[in-house]
Amino acid sequence: MPGPLRGRDLLSIKDLSREEIELVLDTARIMKTRYYSGERIIPVLKGKTVALIFEKPSTRTRVSMEVAVAQLGGYPLYLRRDELQLARGEPIKDTARVLSRYVDAIAARVYSHKSLEELAAYSSVPVINMLSDLEHPLQALADVLTIKEKKGSVKGVKIVYVGDARNNVAHSLMLAVAKLGGHIVLASPKELRPREDILQAAIQAANESGGLVELIEDPFEAVKGADVVYTDVWVSMGEEAQAEEKRRLLKNYQVNEKLMSLANNNAIFMHCLPAHRGEEVTEEVIEGPWSVVWDQAENRLHAQKAVLALILSD
């Protein structure tokens, strides 16, 4: 029988149950173990093509997704928006229906989550969110994979996200940690708290899993006793017009040695990258003993291979 994710879209962490997230993480660990044993090609997607649509530039997402599809024996078809008729005004629904006739899945990195939802509504093949303004589920899956590797579990672990808690990374991380029974604290100015509907979904998930979701404005209070300290850039792509205001709001939310000293002795530092050293994080932290950002970045590959295999493999 096909697995529970076979043929499904993945637009949000909300699309996954706790058991399905655990299945992705277990599969990712198997993929990673086989990768390091020298088995670089596991041809479960042999003969299949995945269209990769990029409206935004990318390093980790593009490379990890192309390599993931290739290492599963499939063909990754990279498509920039300006190479498609989308750039000349073709409706998303037309693009979705045409691509569905050619490929086995569509993964998209878009500015607007609404574009992703329309793509999924009109596509007859699975659609995977590689990033939208609302969520970044593939990043969150790599994040919780990393936390499990470093801390043994997500359940009961205190994870503190410092900075803009209204962004896509914070939203998906909050949902994933809440579903897995972790303690997620979002340290941000009140103006940059998570979107209310996503916050409520996370609180409900935490109530069901035994986890906890907290909002704390003071970053120094928030990180006390933290097992994981996480941050992201203050100004995301497409937010350039808000840059000055966001930097003003977040000037006291830098992750530095003073902040890390309040976390647990064995705390780790995480960042989804790219990092703006000297802004949201200092050089001493990202290059220091706390940092696991390179392991975290690598885990994008293994988590995405798991997602692709579970959605597309026979």
In order, the DSSP letters of 28-76 are HHHHHHHHHTT-----TTTT-EEEEEESS--SHHHHHHHHHHHHTT-EE
Give the mean model confidence (pLDDT) for residues 99-110: 98
85 token code pair: 């008729």
Cβ contacts of 23 within 8 Å, gap of 6 or more: 3, 4, 5, 310
- Of residues 243 and 199, more confidently modeled: 199
Q: What pLDDT does 237 receive?
A: 74
At 10, phi and psi to the nearest 5? -135, 95
Residues in the chain: 314
pLDDT band at 257 (very low <50, low <70, confident <90, very high): very high
**Interval 225-254 mean pLDDT:** 93
Cα 194 from Cα 208, distance rounded (Å): 20
Q: Sort residue 34 into left (φ over 0), alpha (ψ -120 to 50) or beta.
A: alpha
User: Average pLDDT in the 94-98 region?
Assistant: 97
Query: DSSP strand E in 171-267: where?
Result: 183-187, 212-216, 228-231
C-alpha–C-alpha distance, residues 242 and 256, integer Å:
24
**What pLDDT does 236 receive?**
82
Q: Is 143 labeled as catalytic in the residue annotation? A: no
| Residue 1: pLDDT over 70 | no
Share of the chain above pLDDT 70, in %: 100
Question: Which pLDDT score, from 0 to 100, does residue 242 have?
Answer: 87
| Summary mean pLDDT of the chain | 97
Instruction: Given the residues 171, 232, 254, 296, select the one marked as catalytic.
Output: 232
The reported pLDDT for the residue numbered 277 is 97
The active-site residue out of 271, 300, 302, 304 is: 300
The answer to whether residues 303 and 145 touch, using CB atoms and an 8 Å cutoff, is yes
Catalytic residue among 60, 71, 109, 133: 109
Is 204 annotated in the active site?
A: no
How many Cβ atoms are within 10 Å of 145's Cβ, its own excluded?
27
**Residue 185's pLDDT band (boundaries 50, 70, 90)?**
very high
Catalytic residue among 71, 139, 254, 296: 139
Q: Which CATH architecture has domain 139-296?
A: 3-Layer(aba) Sandwich (3.40)
* Residue 222 CA to its chain's centroid (Å): 22
| pLDDT at residue 40 in the model | 94
One CATH from 3.40.50.1370, 3.30.360.10, 3.20.10.10, 1.20.1090.10 for 13-135+299-312: 3.40.50.1370
- Cα(245)–Cα(272) distance, integer angstroms: 22
Going by C-beta distance under 8 Å and a sequence separation of 6 or more, which residues neighbour residue 10? 16, 126, 127, 128, 129, 137, 138, 307, 311
Catalytic residue among 171, 271, 272, 302: 272
Helix (H) or strand (E) holding 208: helix 196-209
Q: What is the pLDDT of residue 262?
A: 98
Q: Using alpha carbons only, give the angle 5, 121, 193 rounded to the nearest 5 degrees.
A: 80
Residue 232 annotated as catalytic: yes
Condensed to tens digits (0 to 9), the pLDDT of residues 58-88 reads 999 999 999 999 999 999 999 999 999 988 8
pLDDT tens digits for 13-66? 999 999 999 999 999 999 999 999 999 999 999 999 999 999 998 999 999 999
Q: Going by DSSP bridges, is the β-strand pair 212-216/228-231 parallel, antiparallel, or unpaired?
A: unpaired
Residue 177 host element (H or E) = helix 168-179
CATH 3.40.50.1370 in the chain is located at 13-135+299-312, 139-296
Single-letter residue type at 86: L
Q: How confident is the model at residue 157 (pLDDT cuts 50, 70, 90)?
A: very high
Q: Identify whether 109 is a catalytic site residue.
A: yes
The count of other CB atoms within 10 Å of the CB of residue 112 is 14
Q: Is-catalytic flag, 101?
A: no
Poorest-confidence range of 84-93, 137-146, 257-266, 296-305? 84-93
* Alpha-carbon gap, residue 210 to 303, rounded angstroms: 24
